[in-house]
Amino acid sequence: MNGAADLHTLTGAYAAHALEDEERESFERHLSACESCAQEVRELRATTARLGLAASVAPRPAMKDEVLRRIAAVRQVPPAERGPDGPPPKQRPRRLAQWALAACVAAAAALGGTAVWQYGQTQAARDQARQAEQQSQELAALLAAPDARTRAAKLSDGAGGAVVVAESRDRAAFVATGMAKPPAGKVYQLWFSDDGVMRPAGLMDPGRSTQTVLMEGPLDGAAGMGITLEPAGGSARPTTAPVAVVNFPA
């Protein structure tokens, strides 16, 4: 496995979006704990932006009206919520309709792309989702969203899982399958990963090895999510190495 120094040299490839998913995930784990790497990534991203500026081309003039028409129909995301101390979103329990699941699975199958799909894990995600009847209306809406996409996740202890992301809802959910119970006094915490910076996204129920959790807070353009083991009640920042880091499906 790569050492830290070796990982550090991936800043360039990461800034240029030239890493494959798996390596990007492991680099993002490294990034969240390496401020000098994060700073270098910011600088190299600013550098690649200059390469982008230099490639500037003149658009077809009519495009502007087309885009302005399109945005008139697109609702903006609300501003980011402040920190981990804000109140958790209200959740109204509601039964998850079967059609919502069907829509979720159909949309995911249509959009997921064969490369990131493994049928067994999809099936597991669907089975888990089916058990999520007590989850909130938001979760149902997320799973039913026409743009909902699913990505299988492997946890470090061998357990399975899946993330479901719907940009139109600006939300994500995590489906855990057979996760090991956390040690006493500990809890699994979910995080959104913004370019390797972890943002708290709620806690999992320590009493259940299989569960579907609506991640707290908006996607906010997050590139992926992570899970860490934290003291009960959760932490403001990850204090342990992630048990999983998953990039959201593109």
Partner 1 sequence: MSDAVRIGTRATPPPDLQELIARVARGDEGAFAGVYDAVIGPVLGVVRAVLRDHAQSEEVAQEVLVEVWRTAPRYRQDRGSAMNWVLTLAHRRAVDRVRSVEASTAREKKAALLEQMPEFDDVSEQVESRLEREQVKRCLRALTEIQRQSVTLAYYQGLTYRQVAELLSLPLGTVKTRLRDGLIRLRDCLGVSA
Comparing CA positions, the residue from 121, 106, 168 lying closest to residue 141 is: 168
What whole-number distance in Å separates Cα of residue 216 and Cα of residue 194? 15
What whole-number distance in Å separates Cα of residue 196 and Cα of residue 176? 22
Q: Which residue of 161, 182, 202, 218 would you call a contact of partner 1, by CB under 8 A? A: 218
Binding track, positions 178-207, relative to partner 1; x by CB under 8 A:
----------------xx------------
Interaction of residue 16 with partner 1, rule CB under 8 A? yes
Interaction of residue 1 with partner 1, rule CB under 8 A? no
Q: Which residue of 64, 95, 130, 208 would you call a contact of partner 1, by CB under 8 A? A: 64
Among the residue ranges 71-79, 92-100, 101-109, 143-151, the one whose residues contact partner 1 (CB under 8 A) = 71-79
Q: Which residue of 4, 18, 109, 236 would you call a contact of partner 1, by CB under 8 A? A: 18
Interaction of residue 82 with partner 1, rule CB under 8 A? no
**Least distance between partner 1 and beta carbon 39 (Å):** 8
Comparing CA positions, the residue from 27, 38, 32 lying closest to residue 4 is: 27
Interaction of residue 102 with partner 1, rule CB under 8 A? no
Structure-token match 């129920």, residue found: 205
Of the pair 56, 98, the CB lying nearest partner 1 is at 56
- Asked whether 228 and 191 are in contact (CB, 8 A), the reply is yes
**Least distance between partner 1 and beta carbon 25 (Å):** 14
What whole-number distance in Å separates Cα of residue 1 and Cα of residue 94? 45
Comparing CA positions, the residue from 148, 149, 141, 146 lying closest to residue 96 is: 141
Which residues, listed in sequence order, are joined to residue 93 by a DSSP beta bridge? 136
Chain centroid to Cα 1, Å, comes to 25
Residues engaged in binding partner 1 (CB under 8 A)? 9-13, 15-20, 39, 42-61, 63-64, 66-68, 70-72, 74-80, 113, 194-195, 218, 220-221, 250
